[in-house]
Structure 1
Amino acid sequence: MADWVGRFRKEIWHQHCDSRRRFRHMTTNLSECINAVLKGTQYLPISVIVRTTYERLQKLFITKDREAQSQLAARIRFSQRLLAAIEKNREGIQKMRVTHYDRRASVFVVEKLEPFEGWG
């Protein structure tokens, strides 16, 4: 695994190789989620921020649990948002076939297929 990781240019994915291109500011999806939960609380006392965060997360978890349970009850394995995103991404993809794949080396060969009549 170390050999595989060593093939990547470290300045692209190591924060310590940043060279200040990001102006010393780095965000992640997690921090964006937390920012959304804390929106509008930045000038409140810390005890209110903690209580507000707890209440908002509690409501969010209850809502998401209900959504998940109703989808599972309807035998829907994947969220509708995920399926819609997958279908949107598939629209522009050419028809292709993987003809060789080596998991250890992470090497694969993709063959573009020519469309034929009746291709759905």
Structure 2
Amino acid sequence: MSEGQPELFEGLEPREPVEERRLRKRCEHQAKSMKDSVKAGKQDARNAVNKAVAFGDLVRPKCCAHCGKFCVPEGHHWSYLREQWLDVEWLCKGCHVKVHLEPDIDPRQIDWVEDLSGEGDA
């Protein structure tokens, strides 16, 4: 430490310049705002589907569109654009999870029916 400076500041990192700090905070705020608006759009789409099902404008099938399993399927949105809120694919929980785990693959083109007989390629 130089003479005249109290030991109080020993080991402290210097603060980032004010302009850099303001820019960083603005970027963080904009990123959070974008994330919040996407989240709100997803919730609006879910609400639209739930309301349409409740009023009978949209019919929830009794089986999964991919594997055919009898269940209460979940609506999967391929897009959250307002015009496509009611454009959902009805998937069981298992197929819905698979869709989200493989974002680069269009699951509409995959045969999801698994060999349940146990006579696989083993």
State if a TM-score over 0.5 links the two structures: no
Scaled by the length of structure 2, the TM-score of the pair is: 0.27
More helix by share: 1
- Using the size of structure 1 for normalisation, the TM-score is 0.28
